[in-house]
Each structure stands twice: as structure tokens, then as C-alpha cells.
Chain A
Amino acid sequence: MAIEFKKSLAVFTEFVSVEEAEGLLEWLLKNPKGKINLADCTHIHASSLQVLMAFKPTIVHEPKDADLAIWLKAALAS
């Protein structure tokens, strides 16, 4: 799994595919204050991106991937 769900932290690693979106949604519904660690993430499928945009959870670590970081910043700012 590209997302590891901990108690109040979801750790995204590498390529987060379309299959992860549902799990992410459920987790965020259960943990509305859940935080996201994106440090080792390289890409998020659009479906999961939409979930992040809808919930706007706190990002504790931005992705090391510079391009993704810029995109997420734009997506989550608006």
C-alpha cells in the first residue's frame, strides 16, 4: 500500500494509485484532524488529490519531489 495509515497520520509513499482514494476518504472521515506526511510521495492519483482538496488536512511534510510540492501547494491553497 502506498498509504500507511497510523493513528492520526497518513504516510504517503511513492506512487499513490487510484485504489487508495477510497481508503483515504474513509480514514479522513474517521480522523477529521488526521495529518498527512507526503515526504516520500512522488505522485498522487487525481482521485486522491481531490479528496485532499476537499478535506484540506494538515500537511506535516511536503513532498521532496519539487514538482509535486508546487502542485500540491497550488491545489491546497485555493
Chain B
Amino acid sequence: MNSLLEQFLSEARDFLQGIGEKLMQLESDPTSHELMVELFRFVHTLKGNSGLFDFPEMTRVLHASEDLMDAVRNGRVNYSQKLADQLLDAMDFVGMLMDEIEATEKISNKHAAPAAELTKALRNLLTASEAGSESSEIDDILNEITQTQVAENSIDWESLPTLNLPEDIAEQLHAHSLRGDSVFWVEYTPEADSFFKGEDPFYLIRQVPDTEWRNVVLNSTVENLAEMDVFNSVASYQVLTHAPAEELEDLFRYIPDEHRRIEIPALAFVKPSGNTDEHAVDEDFIANVFALFDKGETEEVTRTINTMLELSAPDLWSSSALRWVLRLIEREPENKAAQRALLESLRTLQSPDWSELKPVETVTTIATAPPVRNAVVSTSNGSNSVVDEKMQYFNEVINAQREILNLSGFNEGRLKSVGASLICCYKSIGRSQDVDSLELAIKNALAENSPTLLLKWLEHSLENAPELVVAEKIPAPVNNLAMQNDVKFGRRAEDAAGRKADEPNAVTASKTLKVDQEKIDRLMNLIGEMVVAKNALPYLAARAETVFGVRDLSREIKAQYAVINRVAEEMQDTIMQVRMLPVSFIFQRFPRMVRDISRKLGKEVDLVLEGESTEADKNIIEALSDPLIHIVRNSLDHGLEQPDVRIAAGKNGTGKLLIRASQESDRVLIEIIDDGKGINPEVIKHKAYEKGLIDEATLERISDQDAVNLVFAAGFSTADVISDLSGRGVGMDVVRSAVEKVNGTVGIESEVGKGTRLYLSLPLSMAVTNVMIIQSNKQIFGVPMDMVVETVRVPRSQIQSIKQKQTTVLRGRIVPLLPLNDLLASNMPQLPNENDEFATLIVRVHGEHVGILVDDFRETVDIILKPMTGILGGLGGYSGAALLGDGSVLMVLNPRELM
């Protein structure tokens, strides 16, 4: 899982919790504007964050919640219990999605429908409340939702689109439908501004698989062609397909509001078409066929119709109808009613109204789910079976509701929806006499905030009406439907149960622990003190030996010290790990930034990030963020050229910007490499001279590399025009000081025409510093080990004076020597040892070696460097102070500032 997503999930959980808490608080203080504003902010942020990822379902629900909260915040909608319930439901849903994302990193498309439902409910709440008649409408919505769920399997003929299909296509679709493939009618009407969102509706609709028929219509006729707005989408796209519903859902998951999908029953395709001007069949023929049909002599009917078809023109309406009769006889031999209706239509030359065949058809359609097609077709014995079927589904719904009631945790909205479903169910089987007592039970249950009463009523009602339980004995379709119901009603419970079953110990709680940074800092300080205390032990051992002369004790103390040392070091390491952050933390903002800036500048840039998982201390990473942004901006603005310039220079038109992080022993190295025009030392020299940064003599003799380094000088800028990106001359020196503040170094290498490489080298951690202790003028000082190149003893005879400066030649190099006492302005000469040699510390300052003369070297120690504060903070020569094991204070020098 990528770290951005991880961060999102951990934050989102906090937000969800916050939203829950705020809603709870609002319940006790429903008028608090402050709480509402805060609540809105939570939802708003969460929505914004979710938009970063490809989770349309989540974003959609959050978006609706946000709109609702916005309305509440502005007083357009009153806060109510129902609103809170709906919002909590929505947040539960989001939480469930997050669990799924955490487990699988994606959201399966089965959530699209519940998401759309929730969104609709939230939106309805908005409009209902705004219309003023809040509560009743909400109840309507609840009813509507439950009813659509209950009645999903019956067909609403009215809502079916009018199909005028060529007979061959209709025939194929009819066959598909009977074979059990659902045939869907999909109508997609994109929003008018969809082209601006980068959508191509035509492309999308062409992706629908297994399309048998398609059509495009313009929604409005274009009156004046000259004024046609080509960027306004005005078309509707329609297809008939037998692709699986999931595939369609997946395809249209981003635009649930802009498309309509209707399952078309097989019979809807049976629609004869053709020329109705001529009557090819007379009443005699029709009567004849009916006579044969009623006797059940199917073969004879087929033969007669075939003869008739041979005699009449194929493009007649009646011929088409006859062909359909034959198909029905062949494909649905049991569906006598349909065949009869079709034959009947020969008299009127009007397609039969299939909705009148409703009961039969209902069963047939349900039967498209494989096993049960045979069951109930003929009208003679049909009624009984239909009732059985009905009871079976009734039981399913009841069982599902019972399960919902048994779910742990009470939820008012849930109880209401269960209640509404139950009322509908009882009404549908004609037991209206139970409805009154049922309503009473729901009311009581609501008053008690517990589903128990409703459950009891249900059990009681079922016990007293044994006929209601009959269908439970029919197992197969029951399970099927039960499953569907689970998906719809009990999805949360099911998810939770499923997870429990899979991994018994899994708790949904996130594995990351959020800790206040202060606590970590305190731990850090404590371990620092521990290190100091630990460092006291060697002193103690030394005292035991020298002062008290107990050697054995000294040895034991040393052994004990070794153990404590190991533990302390490990502990220190672990705490450092806690503070470690991957550089991706700052890198992840670059793609967007580079994209935006390069757009603005009209440049084409290919950004490559490497080593994003390299880790460093939090403070270092944070300190790095601003300098890096500066550098990247500089590279984009000054480094990379416009595409045409690049191409003219024989380079690829697209510039390359590489940002690479790597670890080098105990330092992090960050390089920013571009293949732009590089830095021309001549230009830099002259600019620096113009700005008075260097004098004429320096101008003449400065090396190219040194010239390039001038970009780090304060007040330097090459840009003639100040843009909003860079050119104010506070760029690189700010970068340098920011980096040096955390003990880092920055360098630049550039080749004209080839590009520039900037590198930052930073310590992995600033917490513990390894220093060498030196002695001078009877005091001890620390010098950071990472600056020390070597320690040598230089005999007095080898020190030469050039002008007033002392120097020596070390390994063929002239090294300037600076007595520490002079640097610290204490007028004491350095003391040589008995062989007249001076202890010399060779340090590296700005890439050059310098020797510092001291009186003597001591050991190196790990210390926790505390920067100096207050008045002492202004002392430039020291980088800080530390406490030593023997309780004394060690001043740590900063040679860079000292010279």
C-alpha cells in the first residue's frame, strides 16, 4: 500500500471518529453553530482527501454528506435526529469501505448501488427539509427504499422504454433473455458540460460489451446550425446489451446519475412489426388456428402457420406476428397465454399488451435465475403456485428483517426501515389485519430504543399463522434470495462476520499508533540523559582504580557499563526509528508542483523520483522541505529550457528532472539533477561583480567551480526579471543556511549545456552527536567528529610563517594552522608536548582542510547536543553545549563559524 493511501486511511479514521463525536455532541446541543461548522469542516476535508484516490463510491457519499452539512451550517436545513442517523449511516458505510480498502486496496463495484442509495437518501433529506415538510417526506423515502427493495423482482411495464427493433435483433435478444442472460436497456445522457471534464460519452458507450442494438439521439434539435455549441453535450446514447450487470455497473460507476439501466423481460421483445395496410390473414384462418390451438395440437398449429407464411409477403405485420408465434411455441412452449395473446393480435394488428399477462410474466422473469423456470406458467393451475412463490419470498423478506433486528447495536433508522418493510410484506399477502398491531409494536420498539419488542411481535405472529412458514421448506431459491437480502440489508453485519471468520484475532483497529510528538521528544531527552548517565560509569571505574585502588571493582563496573551501553544504544536506535520519516513525505508533493510550474512556464518536464523510501529524522525531513522546493523551482525556472530551445540544442524537447535520495553511511544524500542549460560561470562572475559580491581581483582569478558556488552567496540572483517563481535573490543562500542549520551541506556542480547537479547531504539524525574532546587553555571543548579529518602532531620546526599566518605542509598540501586560543581570543600560546609537537586537529571547512592547533586531544564521546538559548544563543562560535558523564558542561565548537 502506498504511504499516501496509508496516511489517508489513518487520517480518515480519525475524521470518522471526529464526525461521530460531533454528531453525538450535537445531539445534546442541537443549536450549537460552532459544532456544526466543525462538523462540516470534518466532512469537507474527508471528502477532499478521498478525492485524491480512485474511490468514486466513497467520494460520492461524502459529497452528499458535505452538501447536507453545508445546508445545516447555513441554517437552510434544521438539524434533526433523522439527519444525524442518516449521516451516521453514511459514515458507517464509508468506514466499511475503508476496511475494504485496507484489506484489498480497492472498492468492489458491488458497493455502487448502496452508495447511490445513500447518496439519494442524503440528497432527499436536503430537498425534503428545504421544502419544509421534513419528517413525513423522510418516512416516504424510507418507505420508498424498502419498497423498491422488496418489489425489485416484479416488472414495471410502464417504465420500460418503447422498443422499435428490427425483428432479427429482437429475436436474438428474446433468445438471450430466455436463455437466462439478462438483457439490459442502458440509456446514457451525459451532462451538458461533460466534454469539459474530459469525458467522451461516445467512447464510453462503445465500451459496453455484447451490444445488440444501439442508437444515438440528439435531445434537442439544433435550430440554428451556425450557433451550435460543439462543446455542449446534447445527445443521448442507448444500447441493448446482454452483458452481465456487474460489467455494466463497473463501466458506469463514475456516472450513476447520468445513466439508466433497465432489465428488459423476454416478452417485451415480442413485438411484431411490418406493413399493416394489407390483411394477409382472414378471420377463417385465425379461427382455424385457434381451434387447433385450443385442442393443444401444437404440431398442427405450426404446420398451418408455416403454410400461411409461405403464402404471404414476409414484410407484412401479420407475417411478423406469425413468425413470433412460431418462436414462442418453440422457445416457450408452456407459455400458452402469451401465444394466445399473440394470435389474438392478428385480429387487431396491434401488438399484445404484455402487462396484462403480468402474473405469468412475473414468474417467468424471476425464473431467469437458473433453476425454477418450469414452475408456474399455465393459467389453469398457476394461481396456487403463484401464491406459494409469493409466500416463499414473503418468508425470505421476513427472515432477512429478523436477522437485521438481531444485529447488535440499536439504530433508529434501521428499525424504521425494518418496520416499513414488514408493513409492506404483510399488506402484500393480504394480512392487513396484522398491520395495526405491527405498527404499534414498531412504535413501542422505537420508544424503548430496542428492537426486542418488534422481534417478539414477529415471532408471535409467525407462531400464530403456521401457513406463513410453509415455504421455509423449499431450500434452493431461499438461499439465493437470502443472500441477496444480506447484501442489501445486512451488509455491515455480513462484512464484520466474514472478517471475523477469516481471521479470528483480527480487530479492525488500525495498527498504527498516533503519538503526540512531545512524548517522543521527551523519550528522546530521557534517553539522552541516560546516555550521559551511562557515560559516567567509565569515570567511576577510573576513580575506583586510581583513587581507591580497587582494580576488581573497576573491572566489574566496566563490564556492567558494557551491558548498559548496549541496551542504551539499542534503545536510542529504536527511538530514532520512531522519529524516522521516509523522504517520500516531502517528495510526494513534487509531481503536482512540477506539473503546475512547468505548465505555467510552457516547459515540458519529465520528473523522476528515486529512493523515496530513504528515511531520516523527522526534523531533518521537515527542515529539508523548503530548501528542496526552492531548488526544484530554480531548476524549472532557470535550469530547464523551453522545448524549442532544447530541440535547437539537439536535446529531447522534454526536460528531465531527477530527484534522488540515498543513504550514505550516516547521512542522507539528496540530489536534484536536471539536464537543462547548466550554469555559465562567466555570467555568474559578472553578475556577482555587478552586485558587488566580489572585487575585480577575484573576478579575474576565480575558478569556474568557485564561480558556480557564488550562487549560494547572499543577495545573488541571475534573473533579470523577478518572476513569481524566483529571482528575488534570496534563493540559494536561504537554502544553504537552512541546510547548514541541521548540520547539512549543500553543493552544486554544473556543466554548461549539459545540466546541473545540486546535492544536499544531511545527517540521518540530529539527536546524538559524536564529538571529539580537545583541551586548550586548560579548558575542554568538543568538535563534531564529522568535521574532523584527522589529528596529527606537528613539530614546531615544520611550522612556517607566511606573512602573519602559520602554515605547514601535510602530505604535500599546504595547510593553514590556526591556534584555537587565538580563535577564542584568549591571549595564551598553545602548549606543545614534551617533544615540542603541537596537537593539530585537521578539520574540513567548506571543502578545505584547515589545521586547528590545540593543547591536547582527549577521547571522543556521544553527546546530546543542546543548542544554546537565550543570550548565549547569539554566540556564533559554538554549535551548542552538552552535559558530560562527570557532570561537567562541554562546549561544542562550530569551526565553520569560528573562522
Q: Which residue of A lies closest to B204 (CB)?
A: A46
A4 interfacial contact with B, CB 8 Å: no
- Report whether A47 and B216 are in contact in the complex, using a CB–CB cutoff of 8 Å: no
Report B-chain residues with C-beta under 8 Å of the C-beta of A22: 230-231
User: How long is the Cα–Cα vector from A52 to B214 in the complex, in angstroms?
Assistant: 17
Task: State the CA gap A39–B322 with chains docked (Å).
Answer: 40
- Choose, from B217-225, B498-506, B879-887, the stretch at the interface: B217-225
A54 touches B202 (CB 8 A): no
Give the distance in Å from the alpha carbon of A64 to the alpha carbon of B217 in the complex.
23
Answer yes or no: B206 CB below 8 A from chain A CBs. yes
Query: Is B201 close to A, CB under 8 A?
Result: yes
**Residue contact B230 to A51, C-beta cutoff 8 Å:** yes
Contacts of A33 in B (CB 8 A): none
Q: Give B198-211 as 1s and 0s: 1 = Cβ < 8 Å from A's Cβ atoms.
A: 00111100100000
Question: In this assembly, does B101 line the interface, its C-beta being within 8 Å of a C-beta of chain A?
Answer: no
By a CB distance below 8 angstroms, the chain A residues around B226 are 29
Least CB separation from B202: chain A residue: A46
Closest chain B residue to A29, Cβ basis: B226
A50-B200 contact given A71-B206, A78-B217, CB 8 Å threshold: no
Given A46-B195, A49-B202, A54-B222, the answer on whether A75 and B216 have CB atoms closer than 8 Å is yes
On whether A43 and B206 interact (CB within 8 A), knowing A29-B226, A54-B228, the answer reads yes
- Chain A interface mostly: helix
- Asked if A44 and B214 make an inter-chain contact with CB atoms under 8 angstroms apart, the answer reads no
Across-interface contacts of B217 in A (CB, < 8 A): 78
Contact A50 B203 (CB under 8 A): no
Shortest Cβ distance from residue A77 to the other chain B in the assembled complex, whole angstroms? 9
Q: A21-B230, A22-B230, A45-B202 are in contact. Are A50 and B235 (CB under 8 A)?
A: yes
Known contacts A75-B216, A78-B216; decide if A49 and B235 are in contact (CB<8 Å): yes
Check B228–A25 contact: CB distance below 8 A: yes
Which residue of A28, A45, A54, A68 contacts B200 across the interface (Cβ within 8 Å)? A45
* Chain A neighbourhood of B201, CB < 8 A: 46
For A23, the closest partner residue in chain B by CB is B230
Which B residue sits closest to A52, measured CB to CB?
B216
Among A45, A48, A50, A67, the residue within 8 A (CB) of B218 is A50
Query: Which A residues lie within 8 Å of B195 (CB)?
Result: 18, 45-47
- Report the separation of the CA atoms of residues A14 and B203 in the bound assembly, to the nearest whole angstrom: 13
List chain A residues, Cβ under 8 A from B215. Answer: 74-75, 78
* In the complex, A1 has a CB within 8 A of chain B: no
Nearest chain A CB to B422 CB, angstrom units? 47
A54-78 CB contact bits vs B (8 Å, 1 = yes)?
Answer: 1100000000000110110011001
- For the complex formed, measure the closest distance between the CB of A72 and the CB atoms of chain B, giving whole angstroms: 9
| Contacting residue for A54 out of B190, B203, B218, CB 8 A | B218
Is B203 touching A45 in the complex (CB atoms < 8 A)? yes
Q: Which residues of B contact A48 (CB under 8 A)?
A: 230
Q: How far is the CB of A65 from chain B (nearest CB, A)?
A: 10
Give the 6 A-B residue pairs with the shortest CB-CB distance, closest first: A46-B202, A75-B216, A21-B230, A54-B222, A46-B201, A74-B215
Question: Which residues of A pack against B, CB within 8 Å?
Answer: 18, 21-22, 24-25, 28-29, 43-51, 53-55, 67-68, 70-71, 74-75, 78
24 contacts between A and B (CB under 8 A): A18-B200, A21-B231, A43-B206, A45-B195, A45-B200, A45-B203, A46-B190, A46-B233, A50-B218, A50-B228, A50-B230, A51-B228, A53-B216, A53-B218, A54-B218, A54-B225, A71-B202, A71-B214, A71-B216, A74-B213, A74-B215, A75-B215, A75-B216, A78-B215
Other 15 A-B pairs with CB < 8 A, given A46-B200, A50-B228, A53-B235:
A21-B230, A22-B230, A43-B203, A44-B202, A45-B195, A46-B201, A46-B202, A46-B233, A47-B230, A48-B230, A49-B235, A54-B228, A55-B225, A74-B214, A78-B216
